Structure 1
Amino acid sequence: MRRRSLPCPDPADERPAVRKPERRSLRRVFALGLPTVWGAVAISYKFGCPLAQQEGLGARVVTSAVFFAVGTGLIFHVRRALLRELTQVRKVAGAAQSVLLRPLPPRLDGLGVAAAQLSADRGAAIGGDLYEAIATEHGVRVVMGDVRGHGLPAIGTAAALLGSFREAAHDEPELGGVLRRLERTFARHLRERSRAEHPSTGREPDTPPAEEFATVLLLEIRRDGELRALNCGHPWPYLLSAHGVDPLAHAEPLPPLGPFPLPPDLDPERCGHLLPGESLVLYTDGAEDARDAHGRFFSLSSALREATADHPVTPKTILRRVFTALLRHTGCDPTDDIAVLVLRNDRNRHKCNEPLGARGTARPAPTNPQPTTKR
């Protein structure tokens, strides 16, 4: 066997790695040494300069100017160090947020996609709301959820649910299996969090905190546009069609994850078909619970009608118009996390000429077809 020679590393390539600790040390020395030097100069002037010992007006003015210059320099130095640290922290937080709530592609298996979130915490790009859309062999599977509360604990719970969904969406052939995986992940995460918050017990708690819960909506859009959903305490999406803006379904949802176990049988709700050109708007309850200065609730359905007044409109346009109306209604100060996800069927109209029965459900043509009005 012929032995391949490995390329020798270039010493120049190792220089940055060697110098990084040196640069950090120099930066720390500079950060601590400069204020020390300024302080030493001020003390030396006060006790060593003859002018500082005089009581005249001119001497006092000069002394005040010296201390003012030293103080101003210290303030600017500390401000610069804090801004540098804040910039670094924001870069790390932005990278972590993009991994947790990663941007969705504009197109997904023939569907137009647009999603965004507003966090109730200032300076945060994510909160307790979660969403994800994944193209699988079973169809496009979507999750929209809302974890109780907001802040760092809610972000941790949302991360656990998203990680579980991203795996289960590909592994589980049935939508009910995906929901059971989410339930187990949610319960395990709450037990681990409770153990971390109370380490003195030395053992894992038997049951998670009863006050913690999460609403979850699972949606499956198949290649033929068939819609199946499992809803655990979450608002039903809005369907945008030629007939207007209507809820996708009116069935009673299951209880949220956490307080009660899931029923033994999880049969997805069949919600008809998403026809070409129609859109779905998934959202969290923060959108409809948003209030203005007079306590009036935001009407999401009215905002969607105004957003789709002119046709056609892209999901990104719908999203932008809805969030513009939301911020105008709340005065740019939402009190709860808000997430909105828009999906539009941009697939070919290969079955639109079939007669329609119930909402979006194709049925065989009658023997003596009568004139019908299509949707």
Structure 2
Amino acid sequence: MPAPLLWGGAAVLWQVLCPLARLDGAAARLVTGGVFCAVGVCLVLGARRGLLRELHQVREVARAAQQVLLRPLPPRLDGLAVAAGQLSVSREASVGGDLYEAVATPHGVRCVIGDVRGHGIGALGAVAAVLGSFREAAHDEAELGGVLRRLNRAHARHLRERDGAGGPAAEEFVTLLLLEIRPDGTVLVVSCGHPLPYRLGPRGAERLTAGEPLPPLGVFPLPAEPPVHRAGVLAPGEALVLHTDGAEDARDAAGRFFGLRQLLDESAQAAPVPPAALIRRVHTALLRHTGGRLADDVALLVVRDDGRPPQGRPGTLPQPCQTGSARELPYP
């Protein structure tokens, strides 16, 4: 029952049943006013507790959704150290429009990172469609171009189902980057309107070069045979940092952009740090630069060849470990 009706019912009962309410004088009016105030405060506190319970349930659902969609990555994949993390622009939500995943396959370690137009709960449908397709296609498709075609079909199917169910008719596209690191270290890249990753090595942080990018998924039809570009070799001790554009577009109060490349360059020239520690370093610097007020979601995925022998045969995933994720960093 709404609080105003309860308050009104309490007032009627007081007037009908309590003799004090029918007396004149300041003392009687004072007591009556105190009773009404106490009832009102109790009703407000009860409503507040109910809202807090609902908010707690919503956050639990959001955390569960994140664990399913952006599950913690294993700390190692076929001898490569791996970590990923996300900062959501919505403090009340632990999920956003960014997506990432890395899997070990018979074709090498394959990674995806992307950014759905928009953020928060509304972007979850596209995130689920793309990630679900990638987790199957990465193992099934022999070529990286075939993986991209599968992801494009999954996103198009999501849009048709959403629009057919009366969903929002606004344009929705996904910028996407696919990466493959073969057992010999060869790096293959396909970009659909997404920033290319940085390579961290002896010369600092350098942007990979991989030809002209394709359009984002959902904007224009993709070519029948998407071009796959070779981007060199990942040598022992080197790392690749995949990121969404929110990391470089973040600004401080004076409008200055966040210096992601400078931070990565300093990290590359210092003592090597684990991928998860590097992500925490970037997240901390981002939040300090923006004062904790992000304008867009930020996702990072770091893959490093630390020169150690792979644990398990190629194509075998180790058991997931929470330490492989840096997603839990709180806002200041």
| TM-score (norm: length of structure 1) | 0.76
State the match for 2:102 in structure 1.
Answer: 133
- Structure 2 residue aligned with 1:114: 83
SS of 1:93's equivalent in the other structure is helix
Q: Deviations over 1:182-236 (max 9, x none)?
A: 111111211222222379xxxxxxxx97x43221111111222221111111111
Q: Work out the CA distance in 2 between the residues paired with 1:120 and 1:38.
A: 39
Q: How far apart are the structure 2 equivalents of 1:178 and 1:40?
A: 64
Q: Deviations over 1:223-282 (max 9, x none)?
A: 222211111111110000011110122522122222222223334211221112111100
**How far apart in 1 are the matches of 2:119 and 2:253?**
22
Give the structure, 1 or 2, with the largest relative contact order (CA under 8 Å, sep 6 or more): 2
Matched, 1:152 2:121: yes
Q: Determine the C-alpha separation between the residues in 1 that align with 2:167 and 2:272.
A: 55
Contact 1:308 1:318 in 2 (8 A): no
For residues 328-347 of structure 1, the aligned pairs below 5 Å read 328-347=288-307
Tell me which of 9, 15, 31 is aligned to 1:62: 31
CA distance in structure 1 between the aligned counterparts of 2:117 and 2:272, rounded to whole angstroms: 36
Cα drift, residue 155 of structure 1 = 2.0
Does the aligned pair in 1 maintain the 2:258–2:289 contact within 8 Å? Answer: yes
Structure 2 residue 232 is the aligned partner of structure 1 residue 232: no
User: Does the 8 A contact of 1:288 with 1:300 survive in 2?
Assistant: yes
Asked if the contact 1:130/1:162 (under 8 Å) is kept, the reply is: yes
CA, structure 1 residues 153+86, in 2 after alignment: closer, same or farther (shift >3 Å)?
closer
Identity between Structure 1 and Structure 2 (%): 61
Q: Cα distance 1:198–1:222, how it changes in 2: closer, same or farther (>3 A)?
A: closer
* Worse-superposed segment, 282-291 or 304-313: 304-313
Q: Compute the TM-score of the two structures, normalised by the length of structure 2.
A: 0.86
Given the alignment of the two structures, is residue 49 of structure 1 paired with residue 9 of structure 2, yes or no?
Answer: no
Instruction: Give the Cα–Cα distance (whole angstroms) in 1 for the partners of residues 211 and 7 of structure 2.
Output: 71
Report the Cα distance in structure 2 between the residues aligned to 1:328 and 1:309, rounded to whole angstroms. 22
Q: Which runs of 5+ in 1 are unaligned?
A: 1-31, 200-207, 351-375
Counterpart of 1:184 (choices 153, 157, 166) is 153
1:292 to 248, 252, 258: 252
Equivalent residues, number: 310
- Inter-partner Cα distance in structure 2 for 1:309 and 1:156: 40
Matched, 1:102 2:39: no
- Asked if the contact 2:175/2:194 (under 8 Å) is kept, the reply is yes
Provide the secondary structure at the position in 2 that maps to 1:245: strand
Quick check: 1:279–1:345 contact (8 Å CA) kept in 2?
yes
Letter of the structure 2 residue corresponding to residue 45 of structure 1: W
Q: Which moved more, 1:35-44 or 1:228-237?
A: 35-44
- From 83, 89, 93, the equivalent of 1:124 is 93
Q: What are structure 2's unaligned runs of at least 5 residues?
A: 311-332
Tell me if 1:327 matches 2:327.
Answer: no
- Give, in whole Å, the separation in 2 of the partners of 1:244 and 1:349: 25
